[in-house]
Amino acid sequence: MGKNLLEDLSAGFNCFGSTRRPERLSAEKKLLHFDLEAESTWANVKDFNPDCIINCIVSGAVKKVEDVKHALDTNYLHTINFFDFLSKQLPDVYLIHLGTAFEYNLRKGGLTENTECRPRTYYGISKLLTSHYLLNSGILKKNTIIRPFNLFGPYDKEEKIIPHLICAQRDKKPISLTEGLQVRDYFFVKDLSRIALHLLKEGFHKPAVVNAGSGKPVILKDAASIIAKYLPDYDASLWHWGKLPYREGEGKVFYNASTLLKERGLVFTELEQAIKATVAYYCGVKQTQNVW
């Protein structure tokens, strides 16, 4: 998320990303040294004095959380401590915080901002704790929580399902998959940048939660069929459907049913166009800039 946001928003704003590795600072000029676990680095954010901070830091978003303590520390404890720091040092900053659809009860199907939050994963629980803190503590008066649905696109971890399918074909590597009948809302990461741009210009008058999803649920196997159309050398034998169980804590169907962003006039990339650009990125063409 962060790399796409920095890349896309830098066209219209003075944007800096952050890195935990000081050795990257000399090579990449648009970076601040910031480590959520090292409070000594937080002053670098204060010194930059931003008008807006977009928090994309997350732990445990891919598959099963192996280190529950690290996920809780990163997604909740360290994060709210940093928010406390901001409330004292940068009280007027606008915070855009990236939550997750996993904060909801994912067995409800169509999810809006008013759907009950009853997460069934450690990842969702830790993210929801932070959302509650932001919404109920009042420490930062200007904040928006974005809850994305099944993000995909450039720079994603190859373990995520859409790049996982693409990279298995690219590398000629067989992979085991579920039956692929789950229905999901696959949301192009470049559209997240479009939402952030809208919020930077328009914002909300008070702290708010907003879902980031296309609102068009798709069966995973149907999304895979679109991927296959754009692969340079598709081999059906590399995708072993039905070999894995479905992920714990998810229902068969969940998608964004909110119309909040559409009511504000936002239009998102069609799934086929987004998948085509994503295949091009992972297969080396890297033409994603043409679709945003």
Q: What is the CATH number of the domain that holds 238?
A: 3.40.50.720
Q: Which of 67, 61, 68 minimizes the C-alpha distance to 2?
A: 61
Q: How far apart are the first and last CA of the chain?
A: 15
> 231, 191 in Cβ contact below 8 A?
no
Q: What integer pLDDT is reported at residue 292 of this predicted model?
A: 47
pTM: 0.92
Q: What would the two tokens of residue 99 be?
A: 């939550």
Give me the average pLDDT of each 10-residue run along the chain (292 residues). Answer: 94 93 80 95 96 94 75 96 98 97 93 95 95 94 96 93 97 96 96 96 89 97 98 96 84 92 95 97 68 48
Handedness of CA 292, 186, 30, 146 (dihedral sign): positive
Q: What integer pLDDT is reported at residue 250 of this predicted model?
A: 67
Q: What integer pLDDT is reported at residue 286 of this predicted model?
A: 54
Q: What is the dihedral of CA 131, 99, 139, 55, to 10 degrees?
A: 160
Number of domains in the chain: 1
Q: Which helix (H) or strand (E) holds 33?
A: strand 31-33
Q: What integer pLDDT is reported at residue 62 of this predicted model?
A: 65
Residue 126: give the domain boundaries: 2-290
User: In this predicted model, what pLDDT tens digit does every residue of 129-174 receive, in sequence order?
Assistant: 999 999 999 999 999 999 999 999 999 989 999 999 999 999 999 9
Separation between Cα atoms, residue 245 and residue 241, nearest integer Å: 10
Q: Which amino acid is at 29?
A: K
Cβ density class 229-258: b for 16+ within 10 Å, e for less: ebeeeeeeeebebeeeeeeebeeebbbbbb
Separation between Cα atoms, residue 292 and residue 288, nearest integer Å: 7
> 33, 47 in Cβ contact below 8 A?
no
